[in-house]
Structure 1
Amino acid sequence: MKLFLRLFALILIISTNTYSQVFDWEWQNPKPTGADHNFALILSPSDYMLFGNGGAVSRSSNGGEAWMTLYIDSLSRNINAASFPTATTGYVAGTSGMIMKTTDGGLTWNYQVSNTTQTIWGIFFLNADTGFATSGGGGLLKTYDGGNTWTAGSYGTVTNYCIYFLNSSTGFLGSSSATTGRLVKTTDGGTSWTDISSLLTGNSGTVRSITFVNANTGFVSTSSGLIYKTTDAGLSWTQVFTIGSTTTIIYNLAFGDPQNGLAATTLGRVVRTTDGGATWSLVQLTTAKGLYSVAALGTGAVAAGDAGTIYTTADYGATFVKRTNAPSQEQLQRASFPSATTGYVVGGSISTGNSFGDVLKTTDGGATWVKTSFTSSTRVYSVCFLTEQLGYVGVEGPTGLHKTTDGGATWTALNTGTGVSTSIIYDIDMTESGVGYAAYSSGHIAKTTNGGDTWTALPAGWSGAACYDIFIVNPSVIYALGPGGRISKSVDGGATFGQLPSLGTTTLYSMHFFSPDTGFVVGSSGKILRTTDGGGTFSEITSPVTTTIYVVRFLNRQTGWFGASGGDVYYTLDGGATWIKSKIRIGSSQSTRDIQFKDGILWLIGTDGMIMRGYADPLIPVELTSFTAAVDGKDVILKWTTGTETNNLRFDIERADGNRGNWRHIGSVDGRGNSVTPQAYNFVDANIAAGSYSYRLKQVDYDGSFTYSKTLNVEAEIPAEFSLGNNYPNPFNPSTVIKYSLPMINDQKSPIKVTLKVFDILGRDVATLVNGEQEPGSYQVEFNTSGINTPGYGSGVYYYQLRAEVSSGGGSFVSTKKMLLVK
């Protein structure tokens, strides 16, 4: 019974809630997410939680080694604070008055009415029922019934950042007000407050964090880089640390025990004490990103912050391990995908000044990214690849345009003779014929007709102001645009550019043209403009945003996307007449700088190293519910099913050797057109040689549009023994892949009776994935949870069991393994 109770508690701790949606986004950089982590909690030595922008909740069930990120707020608001008074009851709070509550350890979250629209910065619960929250505008909220009702009060008129109660009577509040007090105290449960800011000698900043290690000993940190300590329950305070700058914020404090504590601050640094806060030392981590939060329990701690940064320690902060996977967390400007597997993204330093550039490359569709050999002393602003090997990147100056012919292994500087040393190359647009253009901040355009061997400098149609974007409609018609409503056009193949009528004071950043006459331009203040007469006139489209729109791209004449600052990403399905907010959850601090399409896939590129992958068509026409591959001797058998189909013409089957990404078409299977019932398909890739192969499906609609499935990897050989592999990914939502192997018995391909089932923790049969005879070989099966309707089914631990029996009397094999579903 004790074992069962502990396991059940673990299920509650490591499970979180998500919201299912047809259109799915994937963070490819940083991983597990690029959302800012604003608050950290450790609920047990193994259960770590981070709360951040876009409603992100990142969770680890193994002490911070591996993380899964889910999103609990349908409005994608930022979470600024959290409080768990018990192991199962917790609260989060954030922008626009958001408060949410869980009573099952984070399995599900419910909204509460906060009675404020202000941003809530702090939340603290004494127990499951009694809690307080602080907000902008001097807001101070109280509840005595677990948040069923919140009473709106106030202290001061500016932002109250944090709150902490020692008991039901005594509490402390941290504020930004020099008038009503930066540190105030209550002794009557929050009915009245007294300014005790004078006890913080030398402080001129906002109190950002308050914590106590026992009834008497506590600490506060401030935005002026100071830490204070009390040993008499707040009657007096002593300054114990200064970071040396009155403008450096110490965001958060946490203690693993009374002696060992950590504080999170700017530029990738933590402040550490090992003597109960008497002395502190500054520790530099391997990042320059700001750390906004820290949590500690015993020897373990997690520090997290800007751009998805996560570090953990298991020795009180003596050493830290970076848990974020990100070749870049700087601003990324542009992307180019010559194929669905190979792509390049460029950008560079912003948090450390404009001092270096990045050129990132993927050869697996963005699953992994690495830096190429390219080096620069400034940010890389533009990129254009014609093939996987041939491409160009732009930095600054007449020799700031570089060319590679070997996929970024080596680079050659090209002299365009355009601009001066500080002239930024904002855009590059090359064609297979060798004609290309580069846009400069000096108001010039460089043109080549031989792939970059020689260049001619041209005025962009105006002088002085930058040229941000170039669009080649056809060999004769080219458009260019820039700030101050400037847009120009060439009708003679780029020999000359003439400025079109001004579009006012709007800074224009991006455009997309369907023909010489029809196109869109976008820019600052949410402006979207359309022309149907070649730029003679533009009409303004009603925009859903007022933020700066940096990029617009169209998949076809009806379906298009734009990306903006403030986390705004929208799409249109009616040619730009109306725009719909995407369900992407990146938070308000992110800006999308580029959007690229390839073979039905969409990539978003932006600030803080953001690379996100989704589908170019926001309405996925075919719901693929399973896709499996199995080796049968020298044959690979592919099977897949669909839940629904709309305008499904066919499936093209593609195969690649190993991981080289050299995809080729090996066959097609007709689709069912339109269907609302499940449909099953199969395809046999016959008589293949032993080796490693990858397979994918290309689903093609009647109009020629298409999307790709996930990739399955297959080892074409006969296994030597029975085996059941670990499912991947794990934890998972909504699907995971299980691999298993069946050997030949006595050198005979005797049929093997195979069952592969999934059970819940109570031993109930949840799903049967395989039930029948199979030949020896290697198999993999996808377990997709989206279609399971078992009562009580949800997040938690599940078991999958492989049972194999040789019909010729060769014995049996049984293996069971555990997996974790996090919904």
Structure 2
Amino acid sequence: MKTFSRSALTLLISLSVGLAAAQINAAPLTDRVDRPSHLTANAAQFPLIDIQSINDRQVMVGESGHILLGTADGKIKQVDVPVDLLLTAVHFVDPQNGWVVGHDGVVLHSTDGGQHWIKQIDGRDISKTMQVWAESALADAEKASEAAPDDEDLEIALDNAYFALDDVEAGSEAGPSRPLLDVWFRDVNEGWAVGAYGMFIHTTDGGSTWNYVAALPNPDRMHLNTVLGLTDRTLLVGGEGGRMYRSQDNGQSWTASRNPSQASIYKILELKDGSLLALGFGGELLNSQDQGASWTELQSQTRVSLYNGTQLADGSVLLAGQRGTLLYSRDGKHFNVWKSKSSASWLGVAESSPQMLMLIGSKGLQRLSLSELKEQLQ
């Protein structure tokens, strides 16, 4: 059985180590969450972590606060961003409204298709939100324990509440930490973001304010790597150690999904036919036909980690992975492996036109002809 030990977060952190060290001498000693990203002519060669197609253009996010916009004619534009840290995920709900999350608990928002961005919150704000939650949970636990002082379960719950508050206070001392790894919005008002060490937050006002989600059964605070809402309004979360969670009441309560593997899940995709793919560590590839209630393993034909993917206009599926690996499928169930000459890890893929793909990863942006890929798979 495949196992995993936090390499998803390690990969994202390692991408920024070299550049962060170089910037120590080049930039003022201002926290990276408070200083703007630098514009550079070669931004497309820096590590890029996530990509989303919006009509005929793409939005890419990555290292050093870089946000790039790609157009149908192949041009790439870097835009001003108010933070200088690793950005990990992007989600637009329509051509104008989008959110980006990243390290130090940062959440960015755009209302003009990614041309301009504002910072909504960072890890300091999340710490304050968690402090309010922890204090409220402790007060409730104390009240319940006082009403039934001989109840051992309530005594354990009280001890856990004290521990949770101590843990929040200790985490707050580190400053704006609390990395976020994925974000998904249902509409312009309601969205969720997940991250390292069990971080899970929810907003109902477009990101102006966020609340900590404590309902997820994740007592060990495993990393949460991906969040997705389905067309039937089911919510799914996947993460470290194969943890998979499902909610059918808009996140009020959660149940653990049946998963045959302990391999960590990095991304969940919903295909046009309603089926789901979950991909992750060591070539892990799962399929669900019941909105994530249960999962079965598919043969991925590879042991390299799979990080992201997309369904192309013709219905075929393309998954991006480690060491230059792409997985291609015509039916979303049977996959062929394609490997580039580059050793770069592909972290995302998008279709920029019917015959052109945009691949992003540890070595930035590269383009690949879809016809070339198909020819080499024959």
TM-score interval w.r.t. the shorter chain? 0.5 to 0.7
**Matched-pair contact (CA < 8 Å) for 2:196–2:224:** yes
**More strand per residue: 1 or 2?**
1
**Matched-pair contact (CA < 8 Å) for 1:567–1:590:** yes
**Matched-pair contact (CA < 8 Å) for 1:549–1:563:** yes
Structure 1 partner of 2:25: none
Structure 1 partner of 2:308: 551
The structure whose RCO (Cα within 8 Å, separation 6+) is larger is 2
Structure 2 partner of 1:596: 350
Structure 1 partner of 2:323: 566
Change (3 A) 1:366 1:545: farther
Distance 2:368 2:237 in 1: 28
Alignment root-mean-square deviation, CA: 3.3
Structure 2 partner of 1:380: 87
Q: Which amino acid aligns with 1:468?
A: N
Structure 1 partner of 2:98: 391
Alignment of 1:134-533 (within 5 A): 326-341=42-57, 343-348=58-63, 356-362=64-70, 364-365=71-72, 367-398=74-105, 400-406=106-112, 407-414=114-121, 415=125, 417=129, 421-459=176-214, 460-463=216-219, 464-474=221-231, 476-514=233-271, 518-533=275-290
Instruction: Note the C-alpha offset of 1:479.
Output: 0.8
Alignment of 1:23-42 (within 5 A): none
What do residues 758-804 of structure 1 show as CA deviations (whole Å, max 9, x unaligned)? xxxxxxxxxxxxxxxxxxxxxxxxxxxxxxxxxxxxxxxxxxxxxxx
Change (3 A) 1:614 1:391: farther
What do residues 137-168 of structure 1 show as CA deviations (whole Å, max 9, x unaligned)? xxxxxxxxxxxxxxxxxxxxxxxxxxxxxxxx
**Matched-pair contact (CA < 8 Å) for 1:475–1:493:** no
Count of residues paired in the alignment? 288
296, 318, 321: which one aligns with 1:539:
296
Identity across matched positions, percent: 18
Unaligned runs of 5+ in 1: 1-266, 269-283, 285-323, 349-355, 621-823
Instruction: Give the match's secondary structure for 1:525.
Output: helix
Change (3 A) 1:445 1:617: farther
Instruction: Note the C-alpha offset of 1:614.
Output: 4.2
Structure 2 partner of 1:204: none
Change (3 A) 1:597 1:617: farther
Instruction: Note the C-alpha offset of 1:547.
Output: 0.7
Distance 1:487 1:368 in 2: 38
Instruction: Give the match's secondary structure for 1:495.
Output: coil
Instruction: Give the match's secondary structure for 1:501.
Output: coil
Change (3 A) 1:445 1:556: farther
Instruction: Give the match's secondary structure for 2:246.
Output: strand
Alignment of 1:573-612 (within 5 A): 573-576=330-333, 578-582=334-338, 585-587=340-342, 589-597=343-351, 600=354, 602-612=357-367
**Matched-pair contact (CA < 8 Å) for 1:385–1:392:** yes
Change (3 A) 1:549 1:366: farther
Alignment of 1:653-668 (within 5 A): none
Unaligned runs of 5+ in 2: 1-17, 23-39, 131-167
Change (3 A) 1:367 1:404: same
Distance 2:328 2:275 in 1: 18
Change (3 A) 1:436 1:370: same
Distance 2:351 2:200 in 1: 25
Distance 1:475 1:579 in 2: 27
**Matched-pair contact (CA < 8 Å) for 1:489–1:497:** yes
Instruction: Note the C-alpha offset of 1:612.
Output: 2.4
Q: Which amino acid aligns with 1:359?
A: I
Change (3 A) 1:389 1:517: closer
**Matched-pair contact (CA < 8 Å) for 1:557–1:575:** no
Structure 1 partner of 2:152: none
**Matched-pair contact (CA < 8 Å) for 1:425–1:441:** yes
Flag the structure with larger Rg: 1
Distance 1:461 1:597 in 2: 36
**Matched-pair contact (CA < 8 Å) for 1:462–1:499:** no
Q: Which amino acid aligns with 1:384?
A: H
What do residues 168-206 of structure 1 show as CA deviations (whole Å, max 9, x unaligned)? xxxxxxxxxxxxxxxxxxxxxxxxxxxxxxxxxxxxxxx
Instruction: Note the C-alpha offset of 1:403.
Output: 1.1
Change (3 A) 1:503 1:445: farther
**How high is the TM-score relative to the length of structure 1?**
0.32
**How high is the TM-score relative to the length of structure 2?**
0.67
**Matched-pair contact (CA < 8 Å) for 1:346–1:357:** yes
**Matched-pair contact (CA < 8 Å) for 2:302–2:337:** no
Q: Which amino acid aligns with 2:86?
A: R
